[in-house]
Amino acid sequence: MIEGIEKYEITQNFKIRVVKSKKFKTDLIGLFLLRPLNDKEASQLALISRLLTRGSMKYKSAKLFNDKLDEMYGAVFISDVVKYGEKITMHCKIQFPNKRLVESENILQESMKFLKEAVFNVYHDGNSFNSEFFEQEKLKLIEEINSRVNDKITYAVDRCIEIMCEKEAFSVYHYGSVETVKSLENEEVYSYFTEILKSSPIDILTIGDMDFDEIHKLVIKNFSDVIPAEVVEIPCQQFCEEEKEVKYVSEKMNVNQGKLTLGFRTHIRYDDPLYEPAVLFATILGGGGNSTLFRNIREKESLCYYIFSKIEKFKSVMLIASGIEIENYDRTLKLIVEEVDKLKRGEFTEDDINVAKEVLVSSVKSLTDYPNSFINYYYSRELTGSEYNENRIIDEVMNVTKEEIMEAGNKFILDTVHFIKGDELNENQ
């Protein structure tokens, strides 16, 4: 339950959102910094997000930094980057137990101060990051990017996107690339960081049992000297390089199970009236145990254990992903495409629609149970220029008709079919 949300627009580039919810044991403060997505910026931001956890001018080592968090009753500080279509953000958040539950009257004040210190006072020596930290984190980030293949389910979907959108910024991996990270120089990244802190949109979102006015004053007190002065437009290239023919790409990896991913262009942006119908189309198709893909490809044909579809909200793309026996590639692909076509022809029931609506409405309502997900969702709504209004969001879903779902689905065009298969098979796929 949300008791209220207060907004403070300090400048066009620095906003505060205070979400009041008393049911949680913790409070959460998040700082979001927005940038355009490209390989260079993603690589730099990913590296910076890791350097922030290594130490600040006040806590000059990871040990001192983490000792301080432990003392604040195991407060958790995270910083990471997240992709929103052709934009990218750095999220820095601190979560800590609410003061009513611990013997620390000032835990909120201390946490706010810590967040400011961690982001705006990183360990540096005038014009560069601590050089040891910088070189170490560079190597770690390269390792991390290389290790993404270990999570085959996510990797398969990411690869399909990379191939499908190879000429678009969206294909950039959110941690950038090994080559670019390797080439980064300390002074260059440090100067980039100090520059973007001054010129990028920054949002502070909090959620918990905290007083509106108290948060407002605390943010101003701690951040007044770093409020970005210049208003800078974040350039956002939003274009699609459409192929006329479906791309079929298969890659060999050391796997037991083949990973099949289909990428569709939906041609429906998040602010299009057909966006909700498009989401319903994807939900009826592959959103859980009642979906047509689950019922047919898994339950009826026993071809897979997992299969799902999802819409990339910020990129007008739908993906279908599954893990299958490598030799079942042709048959599964044919059956999946048939299921998509059946929905396009309207071969689904009112019951299917109602179930899909229930799924979406439940997920909107239950967002308020998860503090971190809630502020992420709230932030992403604001990025699309739409307000968070639970009732309106639910109405928008509930009012969708079967015709609209078909109309949306018929704009979906298959763009790329990607398959990861084992080493031993020949390439005639």
Partner 1 sequence: MKINEIYDAKLDEKIFHIPHPSGLDIFIYPKKDYMKKYAYFTTKYGALYNEFIDESGNEIKLPMGIAHFLEHKIFEDEEGDIFSQFARLGANVNAYTNFASTVYYFSTVNNFESALKILIDFVTTPHINDENVEKEKGIIVQEIKMYDDDPNWRVYFNGLNAMYENHPIREDIAGDEASVRNSFPKDLMKAYDTFYTPDNMTLFLIGDFEFESIKKHVLDILPEAYLNKKGNGKIILKNEKKEVNKALVEMKMGVPIPMFNFFIKGDEASLDEKNFKKSMINRIALDYMFGKSSEFYNINYENGLINGTFGYEYSYGLGYSYFNFGGESNDSDTVSSKILQEIDKFNAEGIQSDSFIRIKRKIIGRYISSFNSIQYISNTFINYYIKGINFLNFLSIVESISEEEVNNAFKFDMENKITLSKVI
Smallest separation, CB 312 to partner 1 (Å): 22
Residues 6+ apart with CB under 8 A from 337: 262, 414
Q: Residues in the chain, how many?
A: 429
How many whole angstroms separate alpha carbon 335 and alpha carbon 309?
14
Smallest separation, CB 203 to partner 1 (Å): 22
**Pairing relationship of beta strands 14-20 and 76-84 according to DSSP bridges:** unpaired
Binding partner 1 by CB under 8 A: which of 298, 313, 381, 402? 298
Q: Is 305 in the site for partner 1 (CB under 8 A)?
A: yes
Q: Is 377 in the site for partner 1 (CB under 8 A)?
A: no
On whether the CB atoms of residues 264 and 165 are closer than 8 A, the answer is no
On whether the CB atoms of residues 28 and 207 are closer than 8 A, the answer is yes
Footprint of partner 1 on residues 142-161 (CB under 8 A)? 143-144, 146-147, 149-153
Footprint of partner 1 on residues 30-49 (CB under 8 A)? none
Binding partner 1 by CB under 8 A: which of 366, 389, 399, 401? 366
- Nearest one of 384, 423, 80 to 251, comparing CA atoms: 423
**136 vs 429 by CB, closer to partner 1:** 136
On whether the CB atoms of residues 262 and 417 are closer than 8 A, the answer is yes
**196 vs 297 by CB, closer to partner 1:** 297
Smallest separation, CB 298 to partner 1 (Å): 6
Q: Is 95 in the site for partner 1 (CB under 8 A)?
A: yes
Q: Which amino acid type is present at position 216? A: H
Smallest separation, CB 107 to partner 1 (Å): 9
Q: Is 349 in the site for partner 1 (CB under 8 A)?
A: no
**44 vs 130 by CB, closer to partner 1:** 130
Per-residue x/- marks for partner 1, 196-225, CB under 8 A? ------------------------------
Footprint of partner 1 on residues 322-341 (CB under 8 A)? 323-325
Q: Is 424 in the site for partner 1 (CB under 8 A)?
A: no
Query: Which one of the spans 114-122, 216-224, 253-261, 335-343 is the region binding partner 1 (CB under 8 A)?
Result: 253-261
Q: Is 392 in the site for partner 1 (CB under 8 A)?
A: no
Taking the alpha carbons of 222, 224, 225, 231 in that order, is the dihedral positive or negative? positive
Q: Is 255 in the site for partner 1 (CB under 8 A)?
A: yes
Q: Kindly tell me the burial class for residue 36, based on how many C-beta atoms sit within 10 Å of its own C-beta (0-12, 13-18, 19 or more).
A: middle
How many whole angstroms separate alpha carbon 166 and alpha carbon 178?
17
Q: Which amino acid type is present at position 346? A: G
Alpha-carbon distances, residue 157 vs 162, 165, 259, 400, 417 (angstroms): 9, 12, 9, 29, 11
How many whole angstroms separate alpha carbon 259 and alpha carbon 415?
17
Residues in contact with partner 1, counted by CB under 8 A, come to a total of 71
